Chains A and B, each alone.
Chain A
Amino acid sequence: MLKIEARGYESKFWRYAAPILALVLTGATSGLIFAAMGRPPGLTVYTFLVTPLLQQDGFQALAVKAAPLIMMGVGLSLAYRANVWNIGTDGQFTLGAICGGGIALAFPDAPSRALFPAIVAGGFIGGMINGGLVAWLRIRFNANEILTSLMFAYICQYLLVYLVTGPWRDPEGFGFPQTALFSDTALAPRLIEDSNVHIGVLLAPLIAIAVWVMLEKSLLGFQFRVLGQATRAARFAGFSENRLVWVAMLISGGLAGLAGVLEATGTLGQLTTTLSPGYGFTAIIVAFLGRLNPIGVIPAGLLLALTYLGGDAAQINLGLPNAVTGIFQGILLFYLLGCDILLLNRIRWVLNKPKAA
């Protein structure tokens, strides 16, 4: 029978091989699921993971999709290290878009040089307000941040629906639930002309590197690493857990807000009732796939962005509902978490030998 045996040390090999094994297993399992649905498994997986990149500007589309996921994933990798379970980044994303978008709608004639930075700041602060509220409720009232952050995600979504169908609705929009288009000065600057590639694509990796440097080289980062690995030791060392909760929620919330405002000003150009196609949950997978390491989050974000594009491609080319993306993501997270057992354990085939007398 199979037996799980402690190694007694952490395997360097499996540290990097486990996520790759998880990816391979995810591909195989989804192939089986597609086959069970009567779809050709090879073609479906190919359509899902390769076709999007072969299309014209496929890599540009991938980078644009990955930018918000990387920003959110970087924030979460920081928060999860400190055992702060922020799972409501969708709400922080939405509140960021609302705050930044509100500024864009209020000052349509302002010059770009002043307006865009103000919008970005508004988005970051919007996300921080949401995240900060969660931190405050946990510290002051002991309220579980998993539940409060998720409840705020629902609340922010309804706030967005209220604004977009009510006071902020475009009077010339034929009653569609959307705001007026942002003025040109409010839009995120493009890196490549006449494309969707906005400044967020450049910012996302820079943020990842900055947070990585903070984690690896600063005292604050050291505290995060110690708290995650040895909570008791962190307490003996006198690290303030509350302070880390504040930092984790403010940074992960702020980065999600930044992602939201860049999505609104970079990709959509207005606010609508659906801003986030489930980025909040996807960012959780991004953080884990990246091994809670901000640099690792960059390739992880690109891969998960591919699953969104793949879901669209599977819908267009094969007529599959794009909910397939969710299944693929869920299976991936299961395997990622499950394969981690190989870090500290080996699995051995043990024969049921009769015991020697």
Chain B
Amino acid sequence: MTELAVAFLVSTVAAATPLLLAATGELVVEKVGVLNLGVEGMMLAGAIAGFATANETGVTTLGVLAALLAGTALALLFALVSLTLQANQTATGLALTIFGRGFSALLGAGYVGIPAPTLPKLHIPFLTDIPVLGPVVFGHDILVYLSFAILGVVAWCIRSTHLGLILRAVGDSHDAAHALGYAVVPIRYGAVAFGGALAGLAGAYMSLAYTPLWAQDMTAGRGWVAVALVTFAAWRPLWLLIGAWFFGALMYLSLYVQALGVAVPSALLSALPYIGTVVVLVLISRDRRLIRLHRPAMLGRPFQARA
């Protein structure tokens, strides 16, 4: 029974990590008033860039770096079209997702079905060997801890720093922020690039740690779940953790129940996380006050500086 519980907790944390990374990035993007729906595309680009680089060089760290760069590059493309050329953000984000899927499938055509070096799991003498607590708390790979650290820094930064105040000002009233002398568009560029880097990292986690393989469309909608998580958390960073773990658990359960041979068809179980997303979105969104209180007021609105 304890073994089962340990496996459940360990797998939940692993399944939650790409969601948490991508959602943390998207939260920062939305905080400055930009809606980037290209998370899925950036994750896929990160996944293939990380996988291919790790495969060619044999160094996972380089793979992770390549994924960061790939996610950032795609995010800057989005920023160019939606912030500089002021195209509709929703449509531009969709273009990014379409482009990222095609781009990753093309690059990845030669990498299907071959293994890559995997991110090693941490093993701290004594600590990792503690029964139950050891593997659950101290037995993950480095990206898992990094995702917690990034979330913590982002939460602290948004809440208690000068930078966080500027970010929130840009997201809540870009005209006021502009009038105060803050460079709205460059700040948004920065946030979008940060979001892209984290989405790329989430992709690298998928292809180098979670399922260390490349498969076309391997993120399977996780980028969209990450976008939904930001709404679920009502733009409050620490709630992302709860949401990510909830979906991580759902994803693990849908696999686990299949492995148990329970007589529920596997295809229907696979739909569980997506059904869960709809249910959770509905439960949160119906509280209009909560949404209105926390939603960045300029979310999705274009900004044009007037002299």
Contacts and interface: CB of A to CB of B under 8 A. Distances in A.
Given A158-B267, A166-B267, A284-B91, A151 B278 contact: yes
A170 interface: no
B270 A143 contact: no
B81 interface: yes
Interface in B76-109: 77, 80-82, 84-88, 90-92, 94-103, 105-106, 109
B102 A325 contact: yes
B283 to A, nearest CB: 8
A330 B95 contact: yes
Interface string B63-81: 0000000000000010011
A324 interface: yes
B1 interface: no
Residue from the set A288, A334, A341 with the largest chain B CB neighbour count within 10 Å: A334
A327 B99 contact: yes
Given A142-B291, A155-B271, A147 B224 contact: yes
Given A143-B281, A151-B277, A341-B85, A321 B105 contact: yes
The majority secondary structure among interface residues of chain B is helix
A165 interface: yes
A256 B92 CA distance: 22
A337 B82 CA distance: 8
Contacts of B286: 140-143
A21 interface: no
B285 interface: yes
Interface string A143-154: 110111011101
B39 to A, nearest CB: 11
Contacts of A74: none
The majority secondary structure among interface residues of chain A is helix
A338 interface: yes
A285 B77 CA distance: 18
Nearest to A327: B102
A155 B227 CA distance: 17
A85 B231 contact: no
Nearest to A285: B98
A148 B281 contact: yes
Contacts of B88: 337
B282 A141 contact: yes
Given A85-B90, A323-B106, A333 B98 contact: yes
A144 B271 contact: no
Contact of A152 (B109, B278, B288): B278
Interface residues of B, number: 49
A292 B288 CA distance: 31
Contact of B97 (A137, A281, A325): A281
B102 A326 contact: yes
Interface in B1-47: 37, 41
A241 interface: no
Nearest to B41: A330
Contact of B100 (A137, A142, A321, A330): A330
A337 B99 CA distance: 14
A162 interface: yes
A329 B102 CA distance: 8
B138 to A, nearest CB: 35
A162 B102 contact: no
B268 A162 contact: yes
A154 B102 contact: no
A321 B107 CA distance: 9
Given A330-B96, A341-B86, A158 B271 contact: yes
Contacts of B267: 158-159, 161-162, 165-166
B228 interface: yes
A274 B286 CA distance: 34
B51 to A, nearest CB: 15
A180 interface: no
Contacts of A281: 94, 97-98
B181 interface: no
A224 interface: no
A145 to B, nearest CB: 10
B37 to A, nearest CB: 7
B274 A154 contact: yes
Interface in A133-191: 137, 140-144, 146-148, 150-152, 154-155, 158-159, 161-162, 165-166
Contacts of B97: 281
A141 B90 CA distance: 21
A142 B95 CA distance: 25
Nearest to B102: A326
B231 A144 contact: yes
Nearest to A347: B85
Interface string A285-328: 10010000000000000000000000000000000110111111
Nearest to B278: A151
Contact of B81 (A152, A284, A334): A334
B216 interface: yes
B99 A331 contact: yes
A87 interface: yes
A142 B86 CA distance: 27
B287 to A, nearest CB: 8
A155 B94 contact: no
B183 interface: no
Interface of B: 37, 41, 77, 80-82, 84-88, 90-92, 94-103, 105-106, 109, 216, 220-221, 224, 227-228, 231, 265, 267-268, 270-271, 274-275, 277-278, 281-282, 285-286, 288, 291
Give me the 4 closest cross-chain CB pairs, A-B, nearest first.
A326-B102, A330-B99, A323-B105, A337-B87
Given A137-B282, A325-B102, A326-B101, 9 more contacts: A142-B286, A144-B285, A148-B278, A162-B265, A165-B267, A326-B106, A334-B92, A337-B87, A340-B85
14 contacts: A143-B281, A144-B281, A150-B224, A151-B278, A155-B271, A162-B265, A284-B98, A285-B95, A323-B102, A324-B102, A326-B105, A329-B99, A330-B96, A333-B98
